[in-house]
Structure 1
Amino acid sequence: MKTYETLVITEKAPGVWALQLNRPESLNALSMQMLEELADAAGMLYDLPEVRALIIIGAGDHFMAGGDIRDFHRSLALSPETRKAQYRAVIERAANVLVERLTHAPFPVVSAVRGACAGFGLSLALMADLVVASRTAYFTTAYLNIGLSADGGMSYLLPRAVGAKRAARWLLLAERFSAEEALAAGAVSEIVADDQLEARVMEIATRWAHGPRHALLRMKRLLAESMEHTLEAQLLEEADAFSACSATEEFAEGVTAFLEKRPPRFPG
């Protein structure tokens, strides 16, 4: 297993993997190195058949406090044109690749958010299928506060989570929102007590790891495509997915287990 300086990747239980942001002394702020490592790690996990579910979590008391301001400050020594080219390159090479690998991952993903979830941290959280937040978590897009626009898929993911007008408020005012406000808006799936966060995401990921893998992936794909399709196109996708699932061992086991009044034992 490859190791990283800013990340820790572990198998928490059979099929359940965790990707931990590991810069707690900097509130897990996104450095250029961390961004490059995130893209690489996401690719590695994408290709691992053993991964049935992924947890994204921050070390320490915070998820991610946005981009590392020290990296931004160092970039001011570059000429404007060089700086522009550098950021364009790293976004295309790492940030965009990370978004695509996580949002299209062949396994479900859950983000575990405590403390600060700002800027790219919010983008990263939204790349997951579910976002579980501790009660004291807080959220902000933050970009405008330092004269930047969104990255990490924020302008795509946030409107789909909270709606266009609410996303406009979050992005254009860069206000801070509580976990309760994020839940009401739709950016968060559920809120738990601070000391229950890790247990709850582990419960979710374990359920996925023991669930019907083929059906889970089909369901993920249907959800992702629904925002782009017409109703007619989506109905055809549903028919294709449902019929494909009906031909699997998962379906046979699920029906048999239901009739026998026992928990299903889905194939690995």
Structure 2
Amino acid sequence: MNISAPIIFKKSAGVATITFNRPKSRNALTMQMCRDLIEFISGLNGDEQTRVLLLRGNGPDFCSGADLREMTDISAVTPQARAAEVGLNVLDVSQVLFTALHKVDAPIVAGVRGYAIGAGMQFVLAADLVAVSETAKLAVPQVRLGHTADHGESYYLPRKVGSARAMQILLLGEFVTAAQAGQFGLANWVVPDMGLDAQVDGIVGKLSASPPAAVFGMKELLRNCFHNTLEQQFAEELAVVKKCAATDDFVEAMAAAREKRPPIFRGR
């Protein structure tokens, strides 16, 4: 593990951790960082050893989105060339990255302090459980930068906060405070800054100690529920619960309940 790398990737005890590690740049993302993220996240699909994916930022901020200093001056090129360059970046980087994140089987936990802007906000939206510190400031500022959502915000936000709130956040590009994030449903927990790491570690510890077939299956059911009819959801529930019942963890859970003791899940 290279602690000086712009992103620190780590796998330990069933937890995969992504730490954005450019605190002097508010953890802004370069194109190479995005490519590295794609490689790491894509490798988690089908990884039975990873029970949780944790997203966090080093320093006072989570992630401030794209590093605008890396962008070349495109004012002198033709409109067609600008459209082609931006379109290629979206198609080859943004959409690939957040599609890979959407496909992760394990629950995704985000611990957010300070700025979560643009792509940083999308990492928050893609997480299954979110804890924010009172310093958190979230925004999708693309309209104010002359373009539109390009990381999936227009997909996730209406599902998370409803159409009216999504319109407000996306059209105005204003900051959402930590308190508003909790009120709107963008965050599960709003805690003092000093308590954020402990809150996140508690969440991750509970998930990593849970039976993965049940946790992964529950995430799958919730991810699909908005697209299914009731009959389709019943069918998926049946398939998932049968899969869980075939595991040793299910037997252990039932035995522990009968014996009134804490279960020990081994992930099989």
- TM-score > 0.5 by shorter chain: yes
Look up the match of 2:186: 187
Q: Which blocks of at least 5 consecutive residues in structure 1 are unaligned?
A: none
Look up the match of 1:98: 97
Moved more, 117-126 or 242-251: 242-251
Secondary structure of residue in 2 paired with 1:45: coil
Look up the match of 1:8: 8
Distance (Å, rounded) in 2 between the aligned partners of 1:40 and 1:93? 13
Distance (Å, rounded) in 2 between the aligned partners of 1:40 and 1:241? 29
Matches within 5 A, 1:170-181: 170-181=169-180
Secondary structure of residue in 1 paired with 2:109: strand
Question: Does residue 53 of structure 1 match 2:71?
Answer: no
Look up the match of 1:24: 23
Matches within 5 A, 1:56-95: 56-72=55-71, 74-95=73-94
- RMSD value, Cα: 2.0
Distance (Å, rounded) in 2 between the aligned partners of 1:94 and 1:37? 10
Moved more, 232-241 or 51-60: 232-241
Distance change (3 Å), C-alpha of 1:136 and 1:103: same
Q: Contact 2:4/2:21 (CA < 8 Å) preserved in 1?
A: no
Q: Which blocks of at least 5 consecutive residues in structure 2 are unaligned?
A: none
**Shift >2 Å, 4+ stretches:** 1-6, 44-50, 71-83
Look up the match of 1:140: 139
TM-score using structure 1 length: 0.93
Distance (Å, rounded) in 2 between the aligned partners of 1:212 and 1:54? 15
Distance (Å, rounded) in 2 between the aligned partners of 1:139 and 1:62? 11
Shift, 1:253, TM fit = 0.8
Deviations 1:115-170 (A, max 9, x none): 01111111111111111101111111111111110011111111111011110110
Secondary structure of residue in 2 paired with 1:8: strand
Look up the match of 2:130: 131
Distance change (3 Å), C-alpha of 1:227 and 1:3: farther
The count of corresponding residues between Structure 1 and Structure 2 is 267
Distance (Å, rounded) in 1 between the aligned partners of 2:6 and 2:73? 19
Shift, 1:3, TM fit = 9.4
Q: Contact 1:39/1:95 (CA < 8 Å) preserved in 2?
A: no
Deviations 1:195-244 (A, max 9, x none): 12122212211221121111111101100001111122112211222222
Distance change (3 Å), C-alpha of 1:32 and 1:78: farther
Q: Contact 1:30/1:67 (CA < 8 Å) preserved in 2?
A: yes
Deviations 1:5-44 (A, max 9, x none): 4210123x41122101112111012222222222122113
Q: Contact 2:108/2:129 (CA < 8 Å) preserved in 1?
A: yes
Identical columns (%) = 36
Distance (Å, rounded) in 2 between the aligned partners of 1:151 and 1:165? 20
Letter in 2 for 1:170: I
TM-score using structure 2 length: 0.93
